[in-house]
Amino acid sequence: MVHLTRHDLYAISRYDDVRAALMDWQTFSSARSVFVDPQMNAQLEGITLCSDPPEPTMLRSVLGQPLRPDRMRKLAPRIEAEAGRVVAELVGRGRFDVATELAEHLPMTVVSDLVGLGAGHRDRSSLGSSPTTTRSAGYRCPLARGALLYGAANRDPRKYPDPTRFDIARRPSDQLAFGHGEHACIGMNLARMEMSALLGHLADQVSRFEVIAFRPLINNGLRGLEHLDIRVR
């Protein structure tokens, strides 16, 4: 744990500590504060991410209806077909932006269909979206403010040996990228289905990825890439 004096909060980065905090919402409250930016906290107050039980539990029960396992099974053919179509198109070009042309496409398409938005609404909604790889969540405990660093926790060598090495045989089923406990990502099953479909089609059609250029996403709550230009073979 590190005290960030500029923002007067404690950064919590070890896997066991982050997981324990996520399971203890009574101590690590999400109400009124999940970001470093006070203005952002004020704007988001009351949403599921920025509230404590029982409010988010009731909201999640409603929002989670389209994401039930039976609904996900019905979506699987649609997701596979769309993933196959967009991957074939991008691979056929030989070069594309993974962040804006691949990572954003399937979530925006599927989610907009789930909530009944047409293509026009989907295009407008995508203007402000950015793909992310991990996030940090701010929590307020009785004595101080804390920031849970999910990315650091998922690379904690105490939990995952040699964490920066790409290991295709690694089975990190208890990773924290989707959160845990009361604030586990409500759409994580859909996200996993989408990622599996995209990666499966890419594995079938691509033998080599070459990174041409990339630009990090600047955000105080999300960590990812704004652009990732690649060439495929």
Q: What is the pLDDT along the chain (233 residues), one digit of tens a residue?
A: 888 888 888 899 999 999 999 999 888 888 767 777 778 777 777 777 777 887 777 777 777 777 777 778 888 999 999 999 999 999 999 999 999 999 988 888 877 766 565 555 555 444 333 343 344 555 555 557 888 899 899 999 999 999 999 898 888 789 998 888 887 888 888 888 999 999 999 999 999 999 999 999 987 777 789 999 999 99
Give the position of tokens 């105490």. Answer: 158
Residue pair 88/226 in contact by the 8 Å Cβ criterion? no
Q: What residues are paired with 29 via a beta bridge?
A: 140
Q: What residues are paired with 228 via a beta bridge?
A: 214
* Single pTM value for the model: 0.77
Other C-beta atoms within 10 Å of 228: how many?
Answer: 22
Other C-beta atoms within 10 Å of 15: how many?
Answer: 21
Strands 9-12 and 2-4, how do they pair?
Answer: antiparallel
Strands 145-149 and 2-4, how do they pair?
Answer: unpaired
Domains of the chain, earliest start first: 2-232 (1.10.630.10)
pLDDT at res. 93: 97
Distance CA 135, CA 195 (A): 17
Residue pair 176/147 in contact by the 8 Å Cβ criterion? no
Strands 9-12 and 145-149, how do they pair?
Answer: parallel
Q: Give the DSSP H/E element, type plus range, for residue 81.
A: helix 69-93
93 token code pair: 């070009």
In single-letter form, the type of residue at position 125 comes to: S
Distance CA 231, CA 233 (A): 7
